[in-house]
Structure 1
């Protein structure tokens, strides 16, 4: 089995992150999976955004939780990346699902529940309801830095796959694995390399964010289940050289 390539916030290295044009670029490149982040707006809409604030990636300011969908749609999510992408909007989860459907995407959709700083009340139930629109031939994968979010989501939809994200500390992830709540780990690639990739053999390993050629080669030679990268097109070329067509 080849190591799968998951596009981190879309083709984040070549397009404005977490925008429809970024996800489209990743699909066009041939990525095996799409990774993105979901939060809740002031009026309870499922918003695709990594940071709790929109300041870094758009021309406006404020927290996602303090802004309505209409207010968020006024933000330009492309101009800070490049003037070429001026006018790109912050998408909703529904809009991303529709994009996947239009492209007949059949890979993995990894949705990170961004609840590690703000525990959006009821977000798991809302996400589960929205995911009913996801085609059956798309593999659904939930992840979070917040173990409580994983526990809540697992109770709502025990049939889905769950992964624990972590950067330095693995204690909570080990506990989730011990209780059979996750089947995979998503560690920081630097953390992973420093510890020589020693993990429980029953867990799938998908490191992030694997952008350098050196780290890509390392992961492909280790034959990890998948990598998260900002450069899916580049990763596909490197994988071809290491693991073949």
Structure 2
């Protein structure tokens, strides 16, 4: 009689654990970006785990992930603290790096514009709806939702960029772009939470979409360059106290 192999254990813990970690990451990120946990604030793992109703492990994992993007800093014997906002020079360096990576991806994506138009139009429509909801809630037409209404708009904004970046067909460019977007959260720490550039971003995305719809393969690159330059200009205006 052939001996039976011992039953294999189902691998059920990896995805739920990752989902839990990601959920904790999003919850802590919201605290950092909504102004309730300002730069320099201490982030106590035990307190966060009690507040979020989870064990300390996913909190610790989320903070390690945030440390890699510069959102938090860890000091020996003192634990984690919210990192300071990006300086003006760091903002410029971040946007310069985004331009290098994204313009390279756009140049490649423009060669297959017809293949991405449907997905890009859908991403733009989602961004328009999210921006409209932010404007509606900020005008007092709906119940206040804190940072949650902005999170959907930021997500839709980045999703538009990702459609183009992925269409470039270079996985390494995509990885670099996603890493830089994680750092961009620190730029959002610097924004006055009473003013946002959602309307400008929607208008600039519309110009990028129109460029991809044109027959000019150079137009998407120039439209994206203009958009990234405008983001840089607005970020410095916020830093300087302007509008």
**TM-score > 0.5, shorter chain as reference:** no
Provide the TM-score with structure 1 as the length reference.
0.25
Structure that is richer in strand per residue: 1
Higher relative contact order (CA 8 A, sep 6+): 2
Point out the structure with max Rg over C-alpha. Answer: 2
Structure that is richer in helix per residue: 2
Provide the TM-score with structure 2 as the length reference.
0.25
